[in-house]
């Protein structure tokens, strides 16, 4: 099949869409990605890239089209310019495009507007659109960005309705997302629970991070460092564990990193929490696999209870016990898989759970994590399911 992918983010940015496209290409499908220039998570275009700089037109067998979208910077104005520039440039690309693909896939992490050029393409060429929801809008705008203006939220609602109406299948990253979208009046026949996958790492090829002490209990957080992740809780937990032989590693980067590092310094736990910055997928797998425990948290909010973050699949694939300071979908999987502990969103509760894990034999939890991953979240299973959906002939209304 010829598959067209719309995603504002793509390699060298670290998102699951990279592995998806590479896998599809490896299976013999012709894949083209319409994306922007890499700038996530700090809002600055990566070194070596730029509007006047030649870029790789093919990556691992995937054709790459980069639109001239300005980076979002560090303020709301820049974010708006970035958001609507992708829509504008994407629609221009669709208007010029004469090539017909068999299916359109949309990788939707915020902003939701990434779906607008895709819907335009689907309408122009009468091909099915598969819209993969990773972030709920307008809820994400209201909770994460703090936007309360009713007129703005109503405007976003209309955009979301247009995208959902123009999609043949809506792939939901969690079961709660499917319920939320159905409550908007979307036909349940359109909705499919399709969680994110992870490519199982080759453990033998992973090198143990030098920063992990032999006798210490090592806790890792791997992923974006944003306000939504609620990592102040991790800092406050570390402050309660100054005398414990438990250490924290944060592998990733993001807008909240500087503020979090400052808080950790103020709490006097800089020796307990180390930041290693943005790492490759292989390095992230190593940090997670060799850790004694993988940490997951969100801000204490109903929206995040509905969210199943991609790091959960990474943690399980790496066979690492999970401590989830979260509720909803994340907590349910940890309990169902019996691969770790769930803690209340309080530093005292998180500290108690970590001490319990540090005093436990984690062999069964590691085994359970890998087994649950193998049953539910492998790339082979989920990408196979996606291809089966794409191969069906949908009749557009």
Q: Where are the domains of the chain?
A: 2-197+378-391, 203-376
The hierarchical CATH code for the domain 2-197+378-391 is 3.40.50.2000
Task: Copy the structure tokens of residue 36.
Answer: 């922007």
* Right CATH for 203-376 from 3.30.1600.10, 3.40.50.2000, 1.20.1260.10, 3.65.10.10: 3.40.50.2000
Cα end-to-end span (Å), the chain: 22
pTM (two decimals) = 0.90
Q: 247: helix, coil or strand?
A: strand
In b/e form, how buried is each residue of 121-147, taking b as 16+ CB within 10 angstroms?
bbeebebbbbbbbbbbbbbbbbbbeee
Q: What is the pLDDT along the chain (397 residues), one digit of tens a residue?
A: 999 999 999 999 989 999 999 999 999 999 999 999 999 988 899 999 999 899 999 999 999 999 999 998 878 888 889 999 999 999 999 999 999 999 999 999 989 999 999 999 999 999 999 999 999 999 988 888 888 889 999 999 999 999 999 999 999 999 999 999 999 999 999 999 999 999 999 999 999 999 998 889 999 999 999 988 999 999 999 999 999 999 999 999 998 999 999 999 999 999 999 999 999 999 999 999 999 999 999 988 888 999 999 999 999 999 999 999 999 999 999 999 999 999 999 999 999 999 999 999 999 999 999 999 999 999 999 999 999 999 985 444 3
- C-alpha span between 292 and 294 (Å, rounded): 7
- C-alpha span between 388 and 1 (Å, rounded): 11
Measured CA to CA in angstroms, residue 220 lies from 124, 196, 200 at distances of 46, 20, 18
Neighbours of 267 (CB within 10 A): 16
Give me the pLDDT at residue 393, please: 57
Tell me which residue of 179, 208, 214 sits closest to 193, measured CA to CA. 179
102 close to 126: Cβ distance less than 8 angstroms: no
Give me the pLDDT at residue 78, please: 86
50 Cβ contact list (under 8 Å, min separation 6): 37
């Amino acid at each position: 099949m010829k598959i067209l992918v719309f995603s504002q983010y793509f390699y060298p940015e670290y998102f699951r869409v990279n592995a998806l496209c590479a896998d599809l290409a490896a299976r013999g499908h012709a894949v083209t990605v319409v994306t922007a220039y890499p700038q996530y998570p700090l809002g600055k275009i990566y070194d070596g890239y730029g509007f006047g700089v030649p870029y790789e037109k093919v990556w691992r067998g995937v054709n790459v089209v980069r639109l001239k979208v300005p980076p979002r910077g560090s303020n709301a104005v820049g974010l708006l310019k970035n958001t609507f520039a992708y829509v504008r440039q994407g629609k221009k690309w669709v208007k010029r495009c004469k090539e017909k693909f068999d299916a359109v896939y949309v990788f939707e992490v915020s902003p939701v507007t990434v779906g607008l050029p895709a819907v335009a393409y689907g309408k122009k060429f009468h091909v099915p659109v598969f819209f993969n929801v990773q972030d709920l809008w307008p809820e994400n705008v209201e909770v994460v960005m703090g936007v309360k203006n009713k007129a703005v939220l109503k405007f976003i609602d209309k955009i979301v309705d247009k995208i959902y109406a123009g999609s043949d299948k809506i792939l939901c990253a969690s079961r709660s997302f499917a319920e939320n979208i159905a409550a908007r009046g979307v036909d349940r026949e359109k909705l499919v629970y399709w969680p994110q996958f992870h490519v199982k790492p080759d453990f033998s090829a992973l090198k143990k991070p030098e920063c992990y002490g032999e006798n210490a209990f090592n806790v890792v957080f791997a992923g974006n460092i944003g306000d939504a992740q609620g990592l102040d809780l991790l800092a406050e937990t570390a402050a309660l564990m100054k005398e414990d032989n438990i250490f924290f590693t944060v592998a990733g980067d993001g807008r909240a990193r500087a503020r979090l590092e400052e808080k950790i310094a103020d709490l006097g736990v800089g020796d307990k929490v180390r930041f290693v910055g943005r790492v490759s997928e292989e390095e992230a797998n190593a940090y997670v696999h060799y850790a004694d425990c993988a940490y997951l948290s969100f801000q204490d909010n109903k929206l995040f209870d509905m969210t199943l973050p991609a790091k959960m699949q990474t943690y399980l694939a790496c066979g690492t016990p999970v401590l989830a300071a979260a509720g909803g979908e994340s907590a349910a999987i940890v309990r169902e898989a019996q691969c770790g502990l769930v803690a209340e969103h309080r530093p005292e509760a998180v500290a108690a759970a970590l001490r319990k894990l540090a005093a436990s034999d984690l062999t069964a939890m590691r085994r359970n994590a890998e087994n649950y991953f193998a049953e539910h979240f492998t790339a082979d299973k989920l990408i196979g399911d996606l291809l089966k959906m794409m191969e069906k002939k949908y009749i557009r209304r």
